[in-house]
Structure 1
Amino acid sequence: MKQLCVDGACDEVQTLKNATHEFPKGRLLALACAGFITILTEALPAGLLPQIGAGLRVSGAAVGQLVTIYAIGSMVAAIPLTSFTQSWRRKSVLLLAVSGFLVANTVTAVSGEYEITLVARFIAGVSAGLLWALLAGYASRMVPSNMQGRAIAVAMVGTPLALSFGIPLGTLGGIVFGWRATFGILSALTVALIVWIAIALPDFPGERGGRQTKISEVIAIPGVAQILAVTLLFVLAHNIIYTYIVPFSSLSKLGEHVDLALFGFGVSSILGIWIVGVYIDRKLRSLTIVSTVLFGISVLIMGVRYDDTTIVALAILLWGLSFGGAATLFQTASARSSGSAADLAQSMIVTVWNAAIAGGGAVGAGLLMGFGVRMLPWAVLIILVGALVTVLSDPKTGFTDDGP
């Protein structure tokens, strides 16, 4: 286990850890709220597509590009921005990332021009790429080494909460009060979060000594390439079925209640991240294997019993359970393996994750057109077998059960 500190920073980090006798749940929740706002910013346009289209006088397809440009911003900015800010104080970088959401959501709330809104969404995506690269490393630095996995789990809990509750409530608020008001409220919440971070979170130094770590050096660290490969395969598999869950659900009566099925997915995801948070510091490898196997079982069930509403609904719950802690597993493994290069390694996770999201949509579309919707679970199962084989290929690096 490599210590998560940078040149000259170990003493400062250790002083904080020695002073922190209790698990800093309150401070970590500030990071979770940052993730919560990030997911809301990303997904709200999809839920308010007609309202935003009418307000900006554009088609629904054009509004959909507000989500696409966000993902592009995250994907292209994560690695270069994280690399560029390696030497900066960590709290300054975190505040910069969160402030990007404040700017982007405020502009979105008041802009009457589609092109300006598109630029704001790109800025939001850039901010998201930087933020996701920071969260795991920041959480890890706030606790002793034997609590790092649990700390990352708390920092990541904002994602399933946003998917399960934040987006439905935000969509409802946008319908009732107007989509501009919803983005305005999101900006107000971001201001409160900036104050919370500035007051409550500890600060850490960036990389010192004038030399910055290179991407090639991070990839060469034992285990990092394996973690990136598993992340790509797992998230690709997830997005193939998640992106096209509506047409797949139409094979049974579940298609009439897909919103409830996805709510159940979100709730079971919360349970999944809780289980991962309890055991991850001792059983990271085992949890990764179990999550991959459970996901595979769920899509196998979907493939065989695609026309049974109850069985497919239960399979979706199992899928949510397996997926809920996935980000925590991958980011904890990355943080453990990469040591002082944790933030840069996390930026690579962010880039791979967003590439898998885009790839899931493209691969899924190809499967739908070429083979039909019933092929989706089987394609996902094949990809998950690849992910499982990759995890099992090297038990000594990457995903290990050796606690810190």
Structure 2
Amino acid sequence: MACTGFIVIMTETLPAGLLPQLSAGLDVSEGSAGQFVSAYAIGTVLAAIPAITLTRGMRRKPLLLAGLLGFLVANTVTALAPSFSVALVARFVGGAFSGLLWGMLAGYARRIAAPEHAGRALAIAMTGTPVALAVGTPLGAWLGSTVGWRWSFAAMSLLSIVVMVFAKYLVPDAPGQAARTRAPLGRVLGIPGVATILAVVFVWMLAHNLLYTYIASYLQQMRLALRPDLTLLVFGLAALGGIWFTGVFIDRALRRLTLASVALFVVAGAFLAVAQQSTVGALTAVVLWGIAFGGAATQLQTAMGEAAGDNADAANAMLTTSFNLAIFAAGAVGAVLVDGVGARVLPAGMIALAVVAIIMVGVGRRAAFPTGR
């Protein structure tokens, strides 16, 4: 499951380290190249809820393998795409399969673990996210800058095949949701705490992706002596620390952990805002940012799983939709900012959005992020 998350996240974030190469190779602006992220995100947005609704009763393992097969096809087409438009369609398809996998992975991981260790099991399954950020995306960025961006996506196709083989023989199966427990989606949205969590997801992930998607442009425009692949490596290594902290404390301090993570976003944004040509200041900010983000997905999915109960898969499909709406919005808004006023304003947006997210987590003390949990 962690390897599956690795593929999903690396496929999603790979363009962030390859914007100059994508721009040159496909003869488009860097803002347009950033729509590689937006196309993927909108595919997830449109597919997540319908995919999970249609597959709630299916056994989990065949569904996992089907999702991995979808990534194999999408990344292969991207690697071979003769034009920007074909590549965007392939990214959209990849995003659709991302919606399927993210909608079912959290519930799947929690279902095969003992209830008292459900949060830790999810944290382990989600380690693919920080590992992708720490190793995968920087490595993909290096590969793309060395031998061409197409080889980065081809490598993802090969990895998908390997993970499918391991999943076939190592991942235990689990049943789908019983028909008698499947609440309509409207009722799931009305479960106390669910709507609040979805709002936190959107605002918090918008704060993150606004800068992450255009990190190469930010470093270039700020004239910082940092390569995008090195910056992403530092970010990902710090994110590993974040997921470790989350795994240790999530089953007994979810609310405090979430508040601390979002607050650290504000601090990181402040460092970035004042890191005028300061490599040390920028690296400090990236480390804090990585720690804050590392456990974010696990914290949010755990909160959603506990709030939604038996309907966690449907609720997590909504979470995935909100998550990727934020990614899509960040790609679109970021393109306007980067091509217009410049990437130097991105940290200010990160700070403002993170402050809003802190307020929302604070308000959700009863059902979304309950006090004492």
TM-score tier by shorter-chain length is 0.7 to 0.9
Distance change (3 Å), C-alpha of 1:183 and 1:302? closer
Corresponding residue of 1:3:
none
The structural deviation recorded for 1:382 is 2.5
1:315 paired with 2:285, answer: yes
Q: What is the distance in 1 between the residues matched to 2:23 and 2:347? A: 33
CA distance in 2, matches of 1:90, 1:136: 11
The aligned counterpart of 2:296 is: 326
In structure 2, what is the equivalent of residue 344 of structure 1? 314
What is the identity, as a one-letter code, of the residue corresponding to 2:263?
V
Task: Tell me by how many angstroms 1:127 deviates.
Answer: 0.7
Q: Which residue of 1 aligns with 2:45?
A: 75
Change (3 A) 1:214 1:202: same
- What TM-score do the two structures reach when normalised by structure 2? 0.87
Maintained 8 Å contact 1:254/1:313: no
- Alignment correspondent of 1:152: 122
Matches for 1:1-12 after TM superposition, within 5 Å: none
Deviation of residue 256 (structure 1)? 4.6
1:106: how far off?
3.4
**Deviation of the 1:221 alpha carbon:** 0.8
* One-letter amino acid of the counterpart of residue 187, structure 1: S
Q: Distance in 2 between matches of 1:49 and 1:261?
A: 14
State the Cα deviation string for residues 341-374 of structure 1 (Å, max 9, x = none): 1111111111111111122234445556887655
The answer to whether the aligner puts 1:228 opposite 2:198 as a matched pair is yes
Match of 1:206 among 170, 173, 176: 176
Out of 188, 191, 196, the residue aligned to residue 166 of structure 2 is 196
1:391 aligns with 2:368: no
- Report if the CA contact (8 A) 1:283-1:400 is conserved: no
Relative to structure 1, is the Cα distance of residues 251 and 188 closer, same or farther in structure 2, using a 3 angstrom cutoff?
A: closer
Call closer, same or farther: CA 1:120–1:247 in 2, change over 3 Å. Answer: closer
Identity of aligned residues (%): 45
Query: Do the aligned residues in 1 keep the contact of 2:133 with 2:235 (CA within 8 Å)?
Result: no
1:127-157 Cα deviation digits (max 9, x unpaired): 1111111111111111112211111111111
| Residue 17 (structure 1) aligns with | none
Q: Aligned equivalents of 2:231 and 2:23: distance in 1? A: 27
Task: Answer whether contact 1:140 1:149 (CA < 8 A) is retained.
Answer: yes
Kept after mapping to 1: 8 A contact 2:123/2:298: yes
Corresponding residue to 1:98 among 39, 59, 68 = 68
Amino acid at match of 2:193: G
- Report how many aligned residue pairs link the two structures: 371
CA distance in structure 1 between the aligned counterparts of 2:114 and 2:2, rounded to whole angstroms: 19
Find 2:350's aligned residue among 377, 380, 397: 380
CA contact (8 A) 1:247 1:255 kept: no
Could you say what secondary structure the match of 1:74 adopts?
A: helix
The TM-score with structure 1 as length reference comes to 0.81
Q: Is the 8 A contact 2:17 2:229 kept in 1?
A: no
Task: Give unpaired runs (5+ residues) of structure 1.
Answer: 1-30
